Amino acid sequence: MAIAGKSHGVRIWPLAAPGIALVSFVVLPFLWLGGLSFIAGGEISLANYTRMIENSSYQAIILRTLQLSAIVTLVVIVIGYPTAYYINTRSRIAATFLLGCVAIPFWTSLLVRTYAWMVILQRNGIVNGWLQDLGLIERPLRLSNSFLGTSVGMIHIMLPFFIFPLYSAMKQIDMDLVRAARGLGASRTNAFWQIFVPLSGPGLFAGSLLTFVLCLGFYVTPQLLGGGNVTVISMKIQENITNYSDWGAASALGVVLLVIVGVLLFGASRLGARLGAQ
Amino acid sequence: MRRPAIGNLWLTPFAILVVLFLLAPVFVVIPMSFSDSNYLQFPPQVWSLRWYHSYFDAAEWMAATRTSLLAASCTVLLATPIGFLSAFAIRNMRGKAAAVLFGFLLLPQVVPVILLAIGVFFIYIRLRIVDSFLGIVLAHTALAVPFVVTTVSAGLKRFDFSLDQAARSLGASRFRAIFDVMLPQIRLSLFAGAIFAFVTSLDEVVVSLFIAGGDNTVLTRKMFLALRDQVDPTIAAISTLLIVVSVIAVGVFMLAVQRDNRRREENI
């Protein structure tokens, strides 16, 4: 007996044709551009790529993007893991309330949140005001228009993306296992680190990977909170097109970005398959 | 009651701090929008609605808002049925094909948006639809489809297809079986997908930056360009309104979920 209505006689995939067409419509043009990036002066060449290697600013931008994404991901893990864990230990009502608090920024537009951090972190902003009132600093710190400000904004934007999936992964964990370990004489700390944390491993890994990959593509937040002092790959791509109409350079850099993302996701899925097989 | 495995003496204050951090932007932007000052002081010294006036009285902001709302509505009307049909097809496919199609339809979420933006810009130049309303809606719909596919797929996973077969063996056409049996069962997932589609379009910045200029400037693009030059308090008023729109959308959805739960309990 075919389950789930799989007995439909006709081929079903044409129903998905409009979706496939639309997605192709936005995804394929970049692949076309990526192909064109290997052509310079009318013939196949790596000129767009050698230019990137010769120009040290490109390497700096790529490294900067990786560094920013790594720092943001690390902080998101350090802040998000205990938070998800805490929500998981609360009663249903408290957990719902806390999840609601995580959902509010999740549903708030990225642009609005970036703007809010510009206001909070600006020279005469709230944080500088407080620090001065407390006598901790004499002159305002440069919090916005900086790497620090960009990181704070991105951490804020990524936290819900990390907490939600991690929380639902933690919810699946059988807490009896932790209790059993305690009953068998493990200390609270040991039960947590040796039972709970490994069980939450897949959720933690997936959440961290998602965070890192999404960070690599950020444009709005570094542009506005970086104030010209932080240049990431996306910004350089935009600049190449808007200011110089240099499609070759923009596409080549885009291919580099896509390859980084692709390698990470592919590597992760292979790793996941191998771990799953064990 | 779930008991924590480790002591949570430090965990409670830590979680409170994280929640405050998460809510900080909302707590700051809303009061700020009612300030009378040109400078973004917090808390505001004198309250006023001047930044709301400067928004509602500006023809350019109003035009951009109209375009945004119209584009978001069209995106919902297109992305919801297209996403539903795709999810329906995936649910009824066998083996690997389903996973491949699902993965493909999620691509717009995985590929960095700047790449989609320049790709779309590139092809729109050739099609001569840069800065056109049609172009905005097409791009936004493609970006929204993955959300609808995800939410509706989750709904269809819970749907019992033997109901569909029962309806059809009792003489309902495939069409009627879908409309009268399946859609009522998964309407919350459809609704969630529609909200996602609306918010995706309304909040989209990067693609719009390239393809939504001129007469069809959208709200977020105009906000972004304004912010790049200076921190204009009018943006605080617009931001507050955008937050309100999101809260209403999510609130309406929560009410629908609640009503649905109650009805289900009554039926048992």
Instruction: Provide the CATH number for the domain around residue A224.
Output: 1.10.3720.10
Q: Which residues of A touch B94 (CB under 8 A)?
A: 6
> What SS3 class is residue A43?
strand
Distance CA A78, CA A86 (A): 13
Residue entry with tokens 């936005």:
A26
* Cross-chain Cβ contact B203/A111 below 8 Å: yes
Domain-located, residue A48: no
Q: Which residues of B touch A26 (CB under 8 A)?
A: 108, 116, 119-120, 139, 142-143
Range of the domain at A109: 56-231
Distance CA A93, CA A126 (A): 33
Q: Which residues of A touch B35 (CB under 8 A)?
A: none
* Cross-chain Cβ contact A219/B202 below 8 Å: no
Q: Which residues of B touch A254 (CB under 8 A)?
A: 114-115, 118
* Cross-chain Cβ contact B239/A109 below 8 Å: yes
Q: CB burial class (10 A; 0-12, 13-18, 19+) of residue A264?
A: middle
What single-letter DSSP state applies at residue A14?
G
Residue of chain B with shortest Cα separation from A152: B21
List the alpha helices (DSSP H) in A90-232: 92-107, 110-121, 126-133, 147-172, 175-183, 188-191, 197-199, 201-216, 220-225
Q: CB neighbours of A188 closer than 8 A, spacing ≥ 6?
A: A182, B5, B6, B7
What pLDDT, on the 0 to 100 scale, is given for residue A277?
A: 64
What pLDDT, on the 0 to 100 scale, is given for residue B134?
A: 95
Residue entry with tokens 């990067």:
B206
**pLDDT for A6 beyond 50:** no
Q: Which of A86, A220, A258 sits opposite B115 (nearest CB)?
A: A258
Q: What angle do CA B156, A14, B75 make, to 5 degrees?
A: 65
The correct CATH number of B59-267 out of 1.10.10.10, 1.25.40.10, 3.30.365.10, 1.10.3720.10 is 1.10.3720.10
Number of domains composing chain A? 1
- Report chain B's terminal Cα–Cα distance, integer Å: 27
Confidence band for A268, pLDDT divided at 50, 70 and 90:
confident
Domain-located, residue A205: yes
Query: Per residue in A24-79, pLDDT tens?
Result: 999 999 999 999 999 887 788 888 898 888 888 999 999 999 999 999 999 999 99
**pLDDT for A161 beyond 50:** yes
pLDDT tens, chain B, 268 aa long: 445 444 567 888 999 999 999 999 998 899 989 988 877 677 778 888 999 999 999 999 999 999 999 999 999 999 999 999 999 999 888 888 889 999 999 999 989 999 999 999 999 999 999 999 999 999 999 999 999 999 999 888 888 888 888 888 888 887 888 888 888 888 889 999 999 999 999 999 999 999 998 889 999 999 999 988 777 789 999 999 999 998 888 888 888 888 877 877 777 6
For chain B, the structural domain boundaries read 59-267
Q: How far is CA B112 from CA A212, A246, B205, in A?
A: 12, 19, 13
The answer to whether the complex's ipTM is over 0.85 is yes
In chain B, DSSP finds a helix count (H) and a strand count (E) of: 14, 0
Residue of chain B with shortest Cα separation from A160: B22
Distance CA A170, CA B155 (A): 22
Residue of chain B with shortest Cα separation from A12: B89
